[in-house]
């Protein structure tokens, strides 16, 4: 017999009690990063039963094909832009001139057609750089794209620079799978549910690991019965109105502005 992880069991078992209690409305958006590498995992992610946002890496073998497939399926596609300490032909590094950053962004967007926005892959060094982050947000605004700050470092100024010019943006609240066990992933999802109830919304990022997808396939259909509504990232941007959550800034303002 196969047993559920304790945290996932609690998440599932809590549905009956929370449904009758009619908890206050809360919203959740889910982004799956690192797509384009493996067709089986990409397809399984695409099959998740709701408005998952698909973050596709440009330097992967299936990036363009999967972006087209996801767009055809009605999913939101975003460019998962490599940033230092990430490496590769598209990666942004602090020592590169703006002209080179622009070339790499253009090339990456060509590799991921139908991208509605951008989030950073890695980027703990790069997102702490005010000048290139300011340039990026201005460029995205001209292109009509939004930005999701993955918050791979507390020193990030990316969302602050987006907020400064009024670029549509949100920041990640919870990573699901830093620890790749079903128990840990289910526990992180429960933390996300509780945070959504506390602050009204939560932005969650995960990866197409088999353990993550297994937990999500079981738990996501039950969110609504717990008073948590799974919404598209565009709706989340509107819901948050570019304001920082309490863990990210004070009085709705990101530090670094």
Q: What is the pLDDT of residue 226?
A: 87
Q: What is the pLDDT of residue 176?
A: 98
Going residue by residue through the chain (257 aa), what tens digit of pLDDT does each one get?
444 555 565 555 554 444 444 556 899 999 999 999 999 999 999 999 999 999 999 999 999 999 999 999 999 999 999 999 999 999 999 999 999 999 999 999 999 999 999 999 999 999 999 999 999 999 999 999 999 999 999 999 999 999 999 999 999 999 999 999 999 999 999 999 999 999 999 999 999 999 999 999 999 999 998 899 999 999 999 999 999 999 999 999 999 88
Q: What is the pLDDT of residue 9?
A: 55
Q: What is the pLDDT of residue 19?
A: 43
CB atoms within 10 A of CB 72: 9
Domains, the chain, ordered by start: 37-240 (3.20.20.370)
Distance CA 52, CA 253 (A): 27
Q: What is the pLDDT of residue 257?
A: 80
């Amino acid at each position: 017999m196969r047993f559920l992880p304790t945290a996932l069991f609690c998440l599932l078992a809590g549905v009956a009690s929370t449904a009758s209690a009619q908890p206050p409305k809360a919203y959740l958006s889910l982004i799956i990063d690192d797509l384009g590498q493996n067709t089986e995992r990409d397809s399984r992610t695409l099959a998740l039963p709701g408005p998952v946002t698909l973050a596709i890496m440009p330097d992967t073998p299936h990036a363009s094909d999967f972006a087209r497939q996801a767009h055809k399926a009605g999913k939101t596609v975003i460019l998962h832009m490599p940033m230092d300490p990430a490496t590769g032909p598209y990666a942004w590094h602090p020592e590169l001139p703006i002209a080179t950053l622009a070339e790499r962004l253009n090339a990456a967007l060509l590799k991921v057609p139908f991208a509605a926005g951008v989030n950073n892959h890695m980027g703990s060094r790069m997102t702490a750089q005010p000048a290139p982050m300011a340039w990026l947000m201005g460029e995205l605004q001209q292109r009509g794209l939004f930005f999701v700050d993955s918050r791979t470092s507390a020193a990030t100024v990316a969302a602050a620079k987006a907020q400064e010019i009024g670029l549509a943006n949100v920041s990640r609240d919870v990573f699901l799978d830093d620890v790749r066990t079903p128990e840990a992933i289910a526990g992180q999802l429960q933390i996300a549910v509780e945070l959504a109830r506390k602050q009204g919304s939560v932005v969650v990022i995960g990866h197409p690991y088999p353990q993550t997808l297994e937990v999500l396939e079981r738990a996501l259909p039950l969110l609504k019965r717990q008073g948590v509504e799974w919404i598209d990232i565009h709706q989340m941007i509107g819901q948050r109105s570019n304001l920082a959550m309490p863990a990210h800034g004070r009085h709705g303002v990101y530090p670094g502005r």
